[in-house]
């Protein structure tokens, strides 16, 4: 790196701030280049060259933010995002909202003009304070450094506090934190080298509240609902008490002997569902109207188990008990569970003989194992996975905080940056791919990624086909307003961004395609 200035207050502050993050163990940094943030970019580059951080550069802030989200999901550690001012900051908002609702730690370093240039029409200047409202755990407006004594210590303290809040060390749920950093010109310099600094960093102890317990009447007919982010605790509790486990694909709980795969069909049609008298909720239920109707049934007791990451979700606002752990007051009876297993077997149905959505879901699910990881897009395919994916212990992610389709490709690449031993698969619809096509642009410095973007291509959106408007509107109006038909040549799209491309039109071709390595877009033509 070559620069004309030897030192500036902006560079000194930026170097000490980023050095403190690195000293505290933060590894993954994400940068979208800009002018006002140049001191931060230079410091990040210095740390990356010295091997103290991993730096990932993206051409736009929205893609960068979702990539950082994926990285934080896979690592469990905060991602640091660096942006310039203006619309660059606004482009972070979708990923910030998802991180907020999913409990994902992001640290946003948003560069800004100094206070004297705010509100006067200065270029690329808007009010960045509170731009994310309550979607960030904390927003700190940091004045432009002047080179005064104590600023370097303050920089280290800012880093420590941002990590602690983003990770939920204070007992709150993890989530995004914004440091809005004002800088005056001159904005960059040759020194100090951030990699040569050794700031004083000491993270606070993690607050561990005493868990709250509840004793339940074990005689009530109970099912365990495992929503997004539920984790293995839901499996352990269901198996300990002999309760059926109704687990979404991204719950981390869709495995074990108590998992009921066809639970949605059972809730909609089987008489056994009318016998339920209690539900115990882990995570965030996001799929299936049958589950939501169950939660609103006043004859059913609702018990919610808190999550250290996502808090708790009382969708119906009917929970009589919200606790950390539960136990029961009598011996386990397994007759209830056996009846659910029989009902599950009865609704299993025959395997599909054509390459439809069920066959696609099952093939991808079965191919994912060991160090592999799977990202399910928020489209019709995740609902097919909920209906048909078998019980299996594997690493599944999905952006279910707000369940949007935006940023899915970027999230997948973020996951792949962390887990490089296995294959990262993203199972998405064609509109989800097109919504985030620019995220196919990968920083060459990221190295070889083993990632498959598996696209269920039906030429448009079909997710709304089962909703009210599909019944009210004529076919032409419904297609115009809701299906977004498309005829994009995905081969040319993949080629443009340097990805391999495979077109799949049969189950055998799909199984073969799922064994490929490297960066590949698998275009599955659904029947």
Write out the DSSP string of 365-414: HHH--TT-EEEE-SSHHHHHHHHHPPS---EEE---SS--STTHHHHHHH
Query: By the 8 A CB rule, do 516 and 452 touch?
Result: yes
- Any idea which fold 9-196 has? Rossmann fold (3.40.50)
Q: What residues contact 236, with CB distance under 8 A and at least 6 apart?
A: none
Decide if 9-196 and 357-525 have a common fold. Answer: yes
Spell 236-263 as b/e; 16+ CB within 10 A means b. Answer: ebbbebbbbbbbbbbbbbbbbebbbbbb
Query: Which architecture, in CATH terms, is 357-525?
Result: 3-Layer(aba) Sandwich (3.40)
- pLDDT tens-digit profile of 103-126? 999 999 999 999 887 777 767 778
Query: By the 8 A CB rule, do 249 and 398 touch?
Result: yes
CB atoms within 10 A of CB 170: 12
Q: How many CA atoms within 13 Å lie on the side-chain side of 65?
A: 27
Query: Which architecture, in CATH terms, is 213-346?
Result: 3-Layer(aba) Sandwich (3.40)
Residue 150 has pLDDT above 50, yes or no: yes
Query: For residues 66 and 68, what is the distance between their CA atoms, to the nearest angstrom?
Result: 5
- pLDDT tens-digit profile of 230-246? 999 999 999 999 999 99
Residue 391 has pLDDT above 90, yes or no: yes
Mean pLDDT, the chain, rounded, equals: 92
Q: What is the per-residue pLDDT for 332?
A: 81
- pLDDT tens-digit profile of 292-322? 889 899 999 999 999 876 667 777 788 889 9
Query: For residues 287 and 521, what is the distance between their CA atoms, to the nearest angstrom?
Result: 27
pTM here? 0.94
Q: How many CA atoms within 13 Å lie on the side-chain side of 412?
A: 34
Residue 3 has pLDDT above 90, yes or no: no
Structural domain spans, the chain:
9-196, 213-346, 357-525
Where is 298: in which H helix or E strand?
A: none
């Amino acid at each position: 790196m070559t620069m004309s200035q030897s030192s500036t207050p902006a560079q000194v502050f930026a170097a000490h701030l980023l050095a403190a993050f690195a000293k505290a163990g933060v590894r993954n940094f994400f940068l979208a280049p800009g002018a006002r943030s140049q001191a931060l970019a230079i410091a990040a580059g210095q740390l990356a060259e010295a091997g103290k951080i991993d730096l990932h550069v993206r051409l736009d802030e929205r893609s960068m933010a979702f990539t950082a989200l994926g990285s934080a999901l896979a690592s469990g550690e905060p991602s640091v995002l660096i942006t310039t001012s203006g619309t660059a900051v606004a482009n972070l908002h979708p990923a910030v909202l998802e991180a907020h609702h999913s409990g994902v730690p992001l640290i946003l370093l948003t560069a800004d003009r100094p206070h004297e240039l705010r509100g006067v029409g200065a270029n690329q200047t808007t009010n960045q304070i509170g731009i994310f409202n309550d979607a960030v755990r904390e927003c700190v407006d940091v004045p432009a450094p002047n080179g005064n004594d104590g600023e370097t210590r303050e920089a280290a303290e800012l880093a420590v506090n941002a990590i602690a809040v983003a990770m939920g060390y204070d007992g709150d749920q993890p989530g995004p934190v914004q440091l809005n950093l004002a800088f005056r010109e001159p904005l960059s310099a040759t020194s100090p080298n951030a990699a040569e600094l050794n700031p004083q960093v000491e993270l606070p102890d993690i607050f561990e509240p005493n868990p709250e317990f509840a004793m339940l009447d074990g005689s009530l007919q109970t099912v365990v609902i495992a929503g997004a982010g539920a984790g293995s605790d839901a499996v352990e509790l269901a198996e300990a008490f002999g309760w059926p486990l109704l687990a979404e694909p991204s719950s981390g709980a869709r495995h074990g002997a108590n998992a009921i795969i066809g639970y949605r069909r059972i809730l909609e049609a089987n008489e056994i569902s009318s016998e339920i008298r209690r539900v115990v909720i882990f995570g965030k239920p996001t799929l299936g109207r049958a589950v939501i109707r169950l939660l609103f049934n006043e004859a059913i007791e609702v018990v919610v188990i808190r999550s250290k990451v996502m808090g708790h979700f009382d969708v119906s606002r009917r929970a009589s008990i919200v606790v950390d752990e539960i136990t029961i007051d009598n011996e386990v009876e397994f007759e209830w569970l056996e009846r659910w297993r029989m009902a599950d077997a009865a609704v299993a149905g025959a395997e599909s003989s054509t390459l439809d959505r069920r066959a696609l879901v099952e093939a991808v699910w079965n191919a994912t194992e060991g160090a592999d990881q799977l990202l399910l897009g928020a489209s019709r395919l995740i609902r097919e996975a909920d209906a048909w994916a078998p019980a299996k212990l594997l690493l599944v992610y999905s952006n279910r905080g707000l369940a949007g389709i935006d940023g899915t490709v970027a999230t997948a690449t973020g996951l792949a940056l962390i887990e490089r031993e296995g294959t990262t698969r993203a199972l998405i619809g064609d509109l989800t791919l097109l919504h985030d096509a620019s995220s196919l642009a990968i920083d060459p410095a990221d190295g070889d990624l083993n990632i498959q973007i598996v696209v269920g291509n039906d030429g448009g959106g079909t997710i709304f086909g089962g909703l009210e408007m599909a019944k009210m509107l004529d076919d032409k109006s419904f297609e115009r307003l809701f299906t977004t038909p498309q005829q994009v040549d995905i081969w040319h799209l993949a080629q443009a961004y340097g990805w391999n491309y495979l077109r799949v039109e049969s189950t055998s071709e799909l199984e073969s395609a799922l064994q490929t390595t490297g960066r590949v877009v698998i275009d599955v033509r659904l029947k």
